[in-house]
Amino acid sequence: MPRLLRALRTRLASARRAGSRLFERALGIDTAGIVELAQLDAEGFEREGYEGSGWLDLRRMLRPGEVKPDDVFLDLGSGKGRVLMLAARYPFARVIGVELSERLNAIARRNLEAGRRRRRCKQVELITSDVLDYEIPDDATVVYMYNPFRGATFQVVIAKLIASVDRRPRTVRLIYLNPKEHDRLKATGRFRLERKAGRLRLRRSEAARSYIRLYALEAR
């Protein structure tokens, strides 16, 4: 890539980051930026660090009117709670975030408090746990993941999700941003791809996270 174009892209990306920090400061929230798990003493095999989803990602996969009052939203690897804030604007019965780092969860708690007035869902729960120690609730119907973990960890979580749906028959919609483990989902033979969208990106390195997919999982 020509040097001028590369420099322009870098400038645009840093202007965008600065813009989003200013925008968030004005709203009294903090969901921007990238946090490596090493900075939180939480690094580990197959775990990915923090970066918030785009503000429009959830809306693109889940339109208003597609959530019923008995639906329950679960974000696995909820970080600073950006997606929880957005999900709480839908009429979910409950919104649950599961996050490895208590430091990120403390930030999420403050963010949710700052956005309280815009909530339609009254019950928002933040759980600090490794997803491997967490039991998926049998009423969860919309599960969100922004590439939080890989490999065997991902596989265990998906097996727990399938077991939950077979135990208490229902349809679960799985929204998966930067779906690096798409092949593992496909290999289960249980997830039907229902929607997908590309995302605008400024840098080639962002290409991988530029997909978001919605799958349906039904009981057997």
Indicate the SS3 state at residue 161. helix
Task: Quickly tell me which residue has 């930026």 as its tokens.
Answer: 33
52 interacts with ligand SAM by CB under 6 A:
yes
Q: Which of 90, 92, 146, 154 binds ligand SAM (CB under 6 A)?
A: 146
Is-contact 115 88, C-beta < 8 A?
yes
51 interacts with ligand SAM by CB under 6 A:
yes
Tell me how far the alpha carbon of residue 202 is from its chain's centroid.
21
Q: Which is nearer to ligand SAM, 53 or 164 (CB)?
A: 53
* Candidate ranges 14-22, 140-148, 182-190, 197-205; the one touching ligand SAM (CB under 6 A): 140-148
Q: How far apart are CA 213 and CA 194, in angstroms?
A: 8
Burial of residue 19 (number of CB atoms within 10 Å: 0-12, 13-18, 19+): exposed
Q: What is the CA radius of gyration of the chain?
A: 17
Number of residues that bind ligand SAM (CB under 6 A): 25
Q: Which of 47, 173, 190, 213 binds ligand SAM (CB under 6 A)?
A: 47
Rounded to a whole number of angstroms, the minimum distance from the CB of residue 189 to ligand SAM is 25
Which chain residues interact with ligand SAM by CB under 6 A? Answer: 37, 47-48, 50-53, 75, 77-79, 82-83, 98-101, 104, 130-131, 146-149, 153
